[in-house]
Copies of this chain bind each other. A is one copy, B any other.
Amino acid sequence: MEFQDVVRRRRMVRRFTDEPVPSETVDRLLRNAVRAPSAGFTQGWSFLVLTSEEERERFWSATTPEGSERDMSAWLAGMRTAPVLIVALTSQAAYVGRYAEPDKGWTDRDEARWPVPYWHVDAGMAALLMLQTAVDEDLGACFFGIDAGRLSAFRDAFGVPEEWAPTGVIAVGHPVAGGAKGSPARRQRKAMADIVHRGRW
């Protein structure tokens, strides 16, 4: 597909058919993910791929906030139909360590050097590449975060070490109507004139 068509067509999909996603497609998503930029070519990312019903059920049961099933029911009912979940995780330690290497030379490992957490930025870019690749495969996908209160349950469910923080999750499948509406259905796109500053603020 033309690049501009991928950009134009990409939107969050929150409900999927029961048609499976071939494992070669999952592999292509992952291969494109690691084509994302990576500060210092740290590549401090990991991907947890959940495809069996048991794995996905474990994910939803670990990450759904208690008592929220009713509030989130439309969202959850749709998202649970995704045949593939890919959790993009990142390691702050990998980045701080990378920039302490001789060719970077930030020997002090001072966190004040990092006003922007590029570990999450890079993993987010990897996630965007997966969302785009899903479009290129005529699939649908959604990117979402794991509730802060459910992080330790998520770690426990899948044996994820403390070093690795989930930047977000990509749900992938064949799109179908009927998923929860996203915020773009309720909010206007901002005018370019309000967000672009030329020459100075």
- Give the residues from 160 to 197 in chain A that come closer than 8 angstroms, CB to CB, to chain B: 160-161, 164-168, 182-184, 186-187, 189-190, 192, 195-197
Is residue A79 within 8 Å, beta carbon to beta carbon, of the partner chain? no
Separation in Å of the A187 CB from the closest CB of chain B?
Answer: 5
Separation in Å of the A144 CB from the closest CB of chain B?
Answer: 9
User: How many protomers of this protein does the assembly include?
Assistant: 2
- Give the residues from 132 to 159 in chain A that come closer than 8 angstroms, CB to CB, to chain B: 132-133, 136, 143, 145, 148, 151, 158-159
Contact A49 B197 (CB under 8 A): yes
- Give the residues from 1 to 37 in chain A that come closer than 8 angstroms, CB to CB, to chain B: 1-8, 10, 12, 30-32, 34-37
Pick from B4, B47, B52: contact of A199, CB below 8 A: B52
Closest 8 CB pairs of A and B: A41-B183, A121-B124, A159-B201, A125-B128, A3-B6, A41-B187, A158-B200, A41-B184
Please report A residues at the B interface, Cβ cutoff 8 Å: 1-8, 10, 12, 30-32, 34-37, 39-43, 45-52, 55, 103, 112-118, 120-125, 127-129, 131-133, 136, 143, 145, 148, 151, 158-161, 164-168, 182-184, 186-187, 189-190, 192, 195-201
